Amino acid sequence: MADAPEPRFAKVAAMIGDPTRARMLSALMGGEYLAAGELAAAAGVGAATASTHIAKLLDAELVVVRIQGRHRYVRLAGEEVAHVLEALSFVAERSAHVDKWERGAYKPLKAARTCYRHIAGELGVALFEGLLARGTVAAERGQHAGQFALSAAGRADLAELGIAAPPDATPSRRFAHACFDWSERRDHLAGSLAVTLLDHGLAQGWVRRTRGSRALQLTPPGAQALARWLGPPA
């Protein structure tokens, strides 16, 4: 109908669809706060232009801004925004040739990368499958179908590695659920448990961020620590 109201997602789609803002959002998919200058560099624009685009993203509630002294730091507004961007990535890449992921800058992203604040790529998929196979997490049923709970043995696993289990699910955050991985076409783990695993892994040096990229590197200590879920290091 001609007089039907415009879908609310149209404004969000317009925000994401601009090439400069798309590059900014892609840079923010690592889940960290980035300085406005870093976003300007990632988007290939000047400071004034970047400021205008950041203001639009903030108005659309796609990002949040933290001011510290004279500097502004920007982060995605939440996991749900990251999920939208991941879903769009899947749609955009669905016809890409498989060997694309074995070339150039794509290869390390395929191996391991951040999906907002959890581990994605081959490493993330293998970790999730290992958590399920070992019984560290188990699928919930009933009204919580599609989510996963930490088992008693799983809590012991985490405690042995010095990982404090996050609080149970809240209305604003799920404890553990699947997130479809657009390079692997399988699920990796999302939710507060996944955030805890990544944060702890970074703090312990089990995984390292790659500067200027969402790529992660699994270190030898990390391969050893996570062997119960990934298998023994090669």
Give one DSSP letter per residue of 66-84, joined into a string: EEETTEEEEEES-HHHHHH
56, 21 contact by CB (below 8 A): yes
- CA proximity to 119, closest of 216, 224, 220, 17: 216
41: its two tokens: 């560099």
pTM for the model: 0.75
**Low-confidence stretches of the chain (pLDDT beneath 70):** 1-6, 93-105, 143, 169-172, 234
Q: What is the pLDDT of residue 83?
A: 79
Q: What is the pLDDT of residue 233?
A: 75
How is the chain split into domains, by residue range?
A: 9-77, 96-230
Q: What is the pLDDT of residue 1?
A: 47
Q: What is the pLDDT of residue 54?
A: 95
Instruction: Say if residue 77 is exposed, middle or buried (CB neighbours under 10 Å; 0-12, 13-18, 19+).
Output: middle
DSSP 163: P
Q: What is the pLDDT of residue 74?
A: 95
Q: What is the pLDDT of residue 97?
A: 55
Backbone angles phi, psi at 7, to 5 degrees: -55, 140
Q: What is the pLDDT of residue 203?
A: 96
Q: What is the pLDDT of residue 194?
A: 95
Other CB atoms within 10 A of residue 147 CB: 17
CB neighbour burial string for 98-107, b if at least 16 within 10 angstroms, e if fewer: eeebeeeebe
Which residues make beta-bridge pairs with 41?
none
Q: What is the pLDDT of residue 153?
A: 94
Round to whole Å and give the CA distance between 185 and 4: 36
- CA proximity to 76, closest of 17, 131, 140, 16: 16
Longest dimension (CA), the chain: 62
Q: What is the pLDDT of residue 6?
A: 61
Domain 9-77: CATH architecture, name and number where available: Orthogonal Bundle (1.10)
